[in-house]
């Protein structure tokens, strides 16, 4: 793809990352990076993840902040998104 076709894709991706980060902060008081940093623990089962794909820890699961949210935080995030 040419650079001028990729630019809108990069901007759109960055926009949605920013919005997702703001939603995480509104629901938990922490940014996505803070959630991952706060919750990752190699001593815990599944490294502290509350949600995984088929119960297997994958690299993409570890990087996703939403996978560390507890039920209360997920409920709060869902309420914000539904507004």
Instruction: Answer for the pair 24, 77: CB distance below 8 angstroms, yes or no.
Output: yes
Specify if 56 maps to a domain: yes
Specify if 8 maps to a domain: no
Specify if 61 maps to a domain: yes
Specify if 2 maps to a domain: no
Number of domains making up the chain: 1
Specify if 60 maps to a domain: yes
| H or E, element range at 15 | helix 3-28
Higher pLDDT, 1 or 54: 54
How many Cα atoms sit within 13 Å of 36 on the Cβ side?
A: 11
Residue 15 has pLDDT above 70, yes or no: yes
Q: What is the pLDDT of residue 68?
A: 93
Residue 74 belongs to domain spanning = 27-83
Q: Taking the model in full, what pTM does it have?
A: 0.77
Specify if 5 maps to a domain: no
Higher pLDDT, 7 or 81: 81
Express the helix, strand and coil content of the chain in percent, nearest 5 each. 70, 0, 25
Q: What is the mean pLDDT of residues 22-36?
A: 94
């Amino acid at each position: 793809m040419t650079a001028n076709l990729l630019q809108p894709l990069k901007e759109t991706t960055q926009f949605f990352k920013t919005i997702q980060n703001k939603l995480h902060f509104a629901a938990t008081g922490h940014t996505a990076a803070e959630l991952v940093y706060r919750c990752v623990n190699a001593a815990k089962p599944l490294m502290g993840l509350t949600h995984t794909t088929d119960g297997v820890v994958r690299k993409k699961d570890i990087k996703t902040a939403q996978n560390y949210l507890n039920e209360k935080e997920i409920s709060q995030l869902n309420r914000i998104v539904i507004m």
